[in-house]
Structure 1
Amino acid sequence: MKTNPHVAEIRELNLGYLLLAQRLLHHDRAEAMFRLKIDDEMADLLTSLSAQQLSRLASTNQLLCHFGGESAEQLRQVVDNPRDQGLSHIHSSLLMASRSMLSEGGGHVD
């Protein structure tokens, strides 16, 4: 049986993502929930996982993290942002955050 060479990379990425998520949640829960686009229940679960559980979860052959943009166009707006570099990170954050606001029924964001 031939194994997919990407499975080890997926596991490594998943573990890094899970460890970062836990660190962010322990540092500033509200900010982490916003950045990770997760709810209270998911935040509680992530912070409660042991090292063994994190390792087991990371070992899935599916990526646990995903692109924050709703569409390729939204991601393209972040990448091709012509705004002044001093404000580009703020504009990018607003574009990426608009997805979670819309999915929670927060209304229309331009």
Structure 2
Amino acid sequence: MPLVDQEIVDLNLFWLVKAREFARENRQKAVVVLGLDNELADNLSSLSIDDLNRIARTGVLLFRPRFRPTLWRQLIARGSNSSLSVRLHTLLLAAGEKCN
């Protein structure tokens, strides 16, 4: 069996720890920012760091970008412009993606 790519493990673990933190501290933030559903947020909030490490080592990326290609094009076209309107637009699209 091939070795698991350590960078994928690190990305997974970082995401899982952050998702668990959001799920424990601010469920709505977990839902909107990370796109979690309530059941996954419940499950993540009860996992130990050992559980998260085990899950992170699956060998595949456990999360994926959830935005449509049009949003990616808009974000790339705006470059480093991190104005309030760009951030607000992105959050609204994230909330809309969650509702669909």
Aligned length: 99
- For residues 57 and 80 of structure 1, the distance between their equivalents in structure 2, rounded to whole angstroms, comes to 36
Look up the match of 2:14.
Answer: 16
TM-score norm. by structure 2 comes to 0.83
Look up the match of 2:73.
Answer: 76
Q: Which of structure 1's runs of 4+ aligned residues deviate more than 6 A?
A: none
TM-score norm. by structure 1 comes to 0.76
Q: Which amino acid in the other structure matches residue 58 of structure 1?
A: A
- For residues 92 and 24 of structure 2, the distance between their equivalents in structure 1, rounded to whole angstroms, comes to 24
- For residues 37 and 3 of structure 2, the distance between their equivalents in structure 1, rounded to whole angstroms, comes to 35
- Which segments of 5 or more consecutive residues in structure 1 lack a partner in the other structure? 103-110
Look up the match of 2:88.
Answer: 90
- For residues 52 and 77 of structure 2, the distance between their equivalents in structure 1, rounded to whole angstroms, comes to 35
- For residues 95 and 22 of structure 2, the distance between their equivalents in structure 1, rounded to whole angstroms, comes to 17
RMSD: 2.3
- For residues 2 and 34 of structure 1, the distance between their equivalents in structure 2, rounded to whole angstroms, comes to 35
1:94-109 correspondence to structure 2 within 5 Å: 94-102=92-100
Q: Secondary structure at the match of 1:56?
A: helix
Q: Which amino acid in the other structure matches residue 72 of structure 2?
A: L
Q: 2:50 aligns with which of 49, 52, 57?
A: 52
2:64 counterpart of 1:42? no
Shift of residue 97, structure 1, vs aligned partner: 2.7
Structure with the larger RCO, 1 or 2 (CA within 8 Å, 6+ apart):
2
Q: Greater Rg, structure 1 or structure 2?
A: 1
C-alpha contact 1:74 1:96 (8 A) present in aligned 2: no
Same amino acid, percent of matched pairs: 31
Q: Secondary structure at the match of 2:61?
A: coil
Shift of residue 3, structure 1, vs aligned partner: 4.1
